[in-house]
Chain A
């Protein structure tokens, strides 16, 4: 069965997007996810455990990073697996906030003849230019 995956080539940039993150974003994510660790909203607690400041939830970064691929997938393709390694924290300034830049590139195509799945590599950098996720890969397949 043919799908949009057959039109891809390895190395092709699938999607790129930038996302501003504010302290409001962290409070919203805490409520939605149930992760109320105070290092994600209280400066005094973050400093007391030796952090450079309030950090974005790693899982917020992971959730945002998937969105460009999810939106590319639409309704005929779906995410079959998704993995990341958390390599650098994203410090969210109370006034300036933070930002994430996501680039999704086709890393590999599986299947003989028709493509049965595509491995998409994500590069995610923060406003400081640091790569905040490592080994960040989404596998998409036809539904």
Chain B
């Protein structure tokens, strides 16, 4: 199975809105070994001027993961899940994510490039809040390894 290079520029429909839970942020913060009070202490977050606990910088991967599932299950894309390696990752923030945010993620394939038998697929997952304002864009490059032959 080969990656279809014509998916460059393809945009997928938005993922169903994701309500960011306080306990989900605490769970994620513990998993990345955070010692930062803003990620778990509501009083500390409010004293700092946030409405609730603040998500760690890589938290949008939870949203990106859901958006990527749509790309990976698209038969037109031809991406073999078992051959994927994560190449690079980037987050560009307009503002931090806080508990209570209702976020909508829309994924677009921005680059498909073949190199040395592998194919690099870059996608942008654009995350907006309930007011339609941009929160963060997660950019991910997946390396799809070529056939072993």
Enumerate chain A interface residues (CB-CB to B < 8 A). Answer: 19, 25, 28-29, 31-35, 49, 58-60, 62-64, 66-67, 70-71, 74-75, 78-86, 135, 138, 143
Contact = CB atoms under 8 A, between A and B. Distances in A.
Contacts of B32: 29, 32, 60, 63-64, 66-67
Contacts of A64: 32-33
Interface string B45-73: 00111000000111001100110000000
5 contacts: A67-B36, A70-B56, A75-B47, A86-B85, A143-B49
Contact of B57 (A60, A75, A82, A86): A82
B113 interface: no
Contacts of B88: 83-86, 135
A71 B35 contact: yes
Given A29-B31, A32-B28, A33-B31, A49 B90 contact: no
Contacts of B28: 32-33, 63
Given A78-B93, A79-B57, A70 B87 contact: no
Main secondary structure of the interface of B (DSSP, over half): mixed
Contact of A62 (B47, B58, B62, B92): B58
Given A28-B30, A67-B33, A78-B96, A59 B58 contact: yes
A67 to B, nearest CB: 5
Nearest to B137: A81
Contacts of A83: 88-91
Contacts of B91: 79, 81-83
Contacts of B47: 75
A84 B27 CA distance: 23
B33 A19 contact: yes
B34 A70 contact: yes
B92 A80 contact: yes
Nearest to B136: A81
Nearest to A100: B33
Given A58-B86, A59-B86, A28 B65 contact: no
A33 B32 CA distance: 10
Given A33-B62, A34-B65, A81-B93, 18 more contacts: A28-B31, A33-B61, A33-B65, A34-B66, A62-B58, A66-B56, A66-B58, A67-B34, A67-B36, A70-B57, A71-B35, A75-B44, A79-B91, A82-B91, A83-B89, A85-B88, A86-B86, A86-B89
B17 to A, nearest CB: 16
Contacts of A25: 31, 33
A32 B31 contact: yes
